[in-house]
Amino acid sequence: MKKFVFLFLLSASLTTWAQKQPVKTEQPKTQTQTQAEAKPQTQQSGVSPLTEHFYKKYVTAVKWNDFEVAKSALYDLIIENPQNDSLILSLAYHYYENQQHVPAVLVSQQLLTRNPKNVAALEIGAIGYEAMGVKDRALQNYESLYLLSNNVNMLYKMAFLQYDLKRNTEAITSIDILLANKEVETLKVVYNDVDNKPKEYPMSVALLNLKGLAVLEHLGDKVAAKKLFDQALALAPDFVFAKQNLAKVK
């Protein structure tokens, strides 16, 4: 999967870059000549010979699963084409895919200084900050993503981070918005079941359980919290967390 993601991103970025280069006027080619060319020529595409060399280096390294060399080639390409945001995004994905969260965040931040609405950079940064335990910065990124995309998955992440940060009023508001959204009725999330095996549950189950916790901590209302845990268990009787929380309330 990594290979195809990287190659797609890099191919797209080089195509975009090449389209911005001056094009030389040439004589039209015959169909036979066109078909005979296995690769685009550097002068025709507008890509410099050095950029083409680094691109080939990158493609070969990815083909042979040598991601350190692929990363090196990306740096070479970025140095040659410093204004190409797609290349920098490819590097951010490289770090993200290899769970190198600190450089992934730093690279994504570079992109966001150029364009604060870069959705891909915001998401890489959000995931990286969360993995590093910097939950307030992760929440900021998810908030920006939600404002840009209105994606319920971003609001779902926000609700849990708001709860973790003791911003329970905000968490309850986010949860209520989600529970009122018909799209949530069709969405699933994965939690471990009673046998500690991953299982899909309706998103609403996790949200009802989370709201019960937020209500309990923020308002101290055990009756309301119990009702929410009961609602979660009515939808998924084997949802471990709701069972545990209900036992604590009782």
Considering the domain boundaries, does residue 46 fall inside one? no
Domain span at 230: 159-250
> How many CB atoms within 10 Å of residue 136?
11
pTM, full prediction? 0.79
Q: How does pLDDT run across 131-157, given as a tens digit for each residue?
A: 999 999 999 999 999 999 999 999 999
**Cβ 124 vs Cβ 93: under 8 Å:** yes
Considering the domain boundaries, does residue 229 fall inside one? yes
Considering the domain boundaries, does residue 4 fall inside one? no
Considering the domain boundaries, does residue 214 fall inside one? yes
The total of structural domains in the chain comes to 1
Pick the closest to residue 161 from 147, 145, 140 (CA basis). Answer: 140
Considering the domain boundaries, does residue 1 fall inside one? no
Q: How does pLDDT run across 198-240, given as a tens digit for each residue?
A: 999 999 999 999 999 999 988 899 999 999 999 999 999 999 9
The span from the CA of 139 to the CA of 127, in Å, is 10
CATH of residue 180: 1.25.40
**Cβ 175 vs Cβ 211: under 8 Å:** yes
Q: Which amino acid, one-letter code, is at 110?
A: Q
Q: What mean pLDDT, rounded, does the chain reach?
A: 86
DSSP letters, 169-195, are HHHHHHHHHHHT-GGGGG-EEEEE-TT
Considering the domain boundaries, does residue 91 fall inside one? no
**Cβ 172 vs Cβ 215: under 8 Å:** yes
Q: How does pLDDT run across 71-93, given as a tens digit for each residue?
A: 999 999 999 999 999 999 999 99
DSSP letters, 76-92, are HHHHHSTT-HHHHHHHH
Which contacts qualify for 183-187: CB closer than 8 Å, 24 or more apart?
183/152, 184/152, 187/152, 187/153
> How many CB atoms within 10 Å of residue 107?
25
Considering the domain boundaries, does residue 131 fall inside one? no
Considering the domain boundaries, does residue 215 fall inside one? yes
